Structure 1
Amino acid sequence: MNHSPARDNRQPSAAVVRQAIEWMLRLNNQAASARVIQRCEQWRRAHPDHECAWQRVLSLNVDLKHRFQALPSGGVAFEALENSAQRMGRRQAMKLLTGLLVAGSSAWVARDVTPWQQWTADFATQIGRHSSFQLADGSRLQLNTDSAVNQDFSATRRLIQLTKGEILVTCAVGAQHPAPSPLLVSCQHGVLEGQSGRFVVRQESDHTRVSVIEGRVLLRSPGASSITVQAGESYSLTAQRADALPHPDMEPGAWADGLIVTRDMRLGDFLAEVSRYRRGHLACDQDIAGLRLSGVFRLEDTDKLLAVLPQTLPVRLQYRTPWWVTLQRNA
């Protein structure tokens, strides 16, 4: 199957890039079967972003090989690295290949596979981790999985810039700031102003979701008038508008306690949420995506979390690898 390299302005997600790297590692294995080759081709045809990611990762791999071969004994060094990757476990091999691709000086891989925000941010977390920080004014900042934040505090301004992911902010007022400036949180789609209370900010590619747990928050976006969000309310914020959201099927901020708390949540949506806390592919067949579940699930071990699902739903887990998990209907 021949494809010309993608030359448009597509920017595949980090998850799609990692999938492309996984397929490359499988095909580079000398034991790769005709079935693996066929499945890789099916994956590439499934979505334009898949083919785009494949071509770019492939071109980076070729470019890197040429760079090695330009050095004395470079070809031997690259072959040794490839052979080492084949002998390694999949996680270690992905780490090695990703590191090599980043070393190839391609900005899009540096951004999407190993996000530059996490290298330069004041606060950051990796996939599956969450952290808590005390800010200079006494406010508390908690970062969810795969998130990055910068701060800009001075005598006249308190600003938190969310560059990626999700945060839980607990505003501090009182002795440290007798007449405090508002605590500002900027995101891709606007600015939030918190005077008191606790609120969650989750930045997606096309919108930012704001959920107020305590107190109130003022929302401002370039295309919408200011809106005050009260405790118990959630809003979706874009550059053009701010829309109230119905009562969520997942408790906002429960992740700060290491939990996912659901209320009549679709299985497909639940798995999409769990996938944020683990690497690899996690999905379910479409005929069970609409099954509903409610409960409290611990995030510290997502494999144990997934093992609970067949106890409450008519599903079974299929592990093709530790990083490729599918839920199917239990026959």
Structure 2
Amino acid sequence: MSAPAEVGARQLAREAAQWLALQDAGQLDTEQAAALQRWRARSAAHEALWQKAEGLRQRFAQVPAPLAVACLDRPDPDRRRVLEQMLGFGALLPLAWLGYRQLPLDGWRADLRTATGERRGLTLPDGSRLQLNTATAVNLDFAEGRHWLQLVQGEIALDTVGPLQVQTRDGLVRMQGAGVCMRERAQGCVVSVTRGQVSLQPLAGPAVRLEAGQRATLSASGVTASQPFDAQLPGWQQGLLIVDDQPLGDLLRELDRYRPGLLRWDPALEQLAVTGTFQLDDTDRILALLAASLPLQVHYRTRYWVSLTPRKKIA
């Protein structure tokens, strides 16, 4: 599957999972039920995914919890305990299946991963510092002197003290005593160097070296031209989202990475200019600040279904 098609499939699965959760929680009123029917009728793919999810729900509803855990889980006591709790409380297995579509199986089985909105930091066996941003998955291998990390999905920041190799789906990033931020996107892995030097080796093509303050995208076929950026500017590692005269649509797309559920906005809001520093730990507060400073309104259908519309003018 091509990268754009994979992104589209994940988005479709995400929408289906959210509709299914709202329906089974009894959250759908008449208007929302009609909206769900319109969503299902949008294409054959929409309806097929919905039917498959409902079919899985019926199948898993009759599977004993221990058997379901044995089928779904790898030999990991902590993960087995979580799944047993989920099954014991009657959680929707179709959502788990849709989650596998949204986050690839490798992501669910990764050594380290974060949920949507979660950030995590830890020290690696060699003393390097690793931070995982929202919805990120990585694998580690430091056995027998190896210094290897695989970025499966999402975004990481590294502050290394020795040699380290990071494998991405498009190539290899080598560094030693360097600081780097890496984010997987549909078009490739965006690599930003905050300290030292790194080498980017695509699957096909020559290696390219980046210096501190430079950023480039590593794709399978090569490396884009480097661009400068302010390496001292705080970012998600400090729990901040900083924008300077940025279109609101761009800000909301970034904010959506940190919010579980549906975040939608009227296209008329796309080009409103935004400047500010926002705390990522409270996305509801960010939406409130936007409503206070821009001509828009925030509508909460549920905690996980939020829409933004232009503020109505009072005659």
Q: TM class, shorter-chain normalised? A: 0.7 to 0.9
Tell me, what secondary structure is at the counterpart of 2:92?
A: helix
1:151 aligned to which of 118, 134, 140: 140
Matched, 1:281 2:270: no
Residue segments in structure 1 that go unaligned for 5+ positions in a row:
1-8, 72-91, 174-181
Matched, 1:316 2:297: yes
The one-letter code matched in structure 1 to 2:263 is L
Q: How does 1:182-331 map to 2 (within 5 A)?
A: 182-244=163-225, 246=227, 254-331=235-312
Aligned to 2:48: 55
Asked if 1 retains the 8 angstrom alpha-carbon contact of 2:157 and 2:180, the reply is: yes
Aligned to 1:36: 32
Matched, 1:99 2:93: yes
**CA distance, structure 2, for counterparts of residue 240 and residue 31 of structure 1:** 47
Aligned to 1:65: 58
Tell me, what secondary structure is at the counterpart of 2:122?
A: strand
The one-letter code matched in structure 2 to 1:306 is L
For residue 223 of structure 1, report the CA deviation from its aligned partner: 2.5
For residue 228 of structure 1, report the CA deviation from its aligned partner: 0.9
Asked if 1 retains the 8 angstrom alpha-carbon contact of 2:39 and 2:46, the reply is: no
Indicate how the Cα distance of structure 1 residues 110 and 160 shifts in structure 2: closer, same or farther if over 3 A, else same: same
The one-letter code matched in structure 1 to 2:258 is Y
For residue 294 of structure 1, report the CA deviation from its aligned partner: 2.1
Q: TM-score, normalised by structure 2?
A: 0.78
**CA distance, structure 1, for counterparts of residue 287 and residue 227 of structure 2:** 27
Tell me, what secondary structure is at the counterpart of 2:39?
A: helix
1:280-307 deviations in whole A, cap 9, x for unaligned? 1113211221122222110111101111
Indicate how the Cα distance of structure 1 residues 291 and 96 shifts in structure 2: closer, same or farther if over 3 A, else same: farther
Indicate how the Cα distance of structure 1 residues 140 and 59 shifts in structure 2: closer, same or farther if over 3 A, else same: same
**CA distance, structure 2, for counterparts of residue 252 and residue 166 of structure 1:** 17
Tell me, what secondary structure is at the counterpart of 1:235?
A: strand
Larger Rg belongs to: 1
1:18 aligned to which of 3, 14, 17: 14
Aligned to 1:167: 156
Indicate how the Cα distance of structure 1 residues 13 and 144 shifts in structure 2: closer, same or farther if over 3 A, else same: farther
Matched, 1:142 2:131: yes
Tell me, what secondary structure is at the counterpart of 2:15?
A: helix
1:23-49 deviations in whole A, cap 9, x for unaligned? 335556789555334312332355x5x
Aligned to 1:75: none
2:119 aligned to which of 124, 130, 151: 130
**CA distance, structure 1, for counterparts of residue 230 and residue 307 of structure 2:** 22
Asked if 2 retains the 8 angstrom alpha-carbon contact of 1:217 and 1:229, the reply is: yes
Indicate how the Cα distance of structure 1 residues 40 and 228 shifts in structure 2: closer, same or farther if over 3 A, else same: same
Asked if 2 retains the 8 angstrom alpha-carbon contact of 1:200 and 1:252, the reply is: no
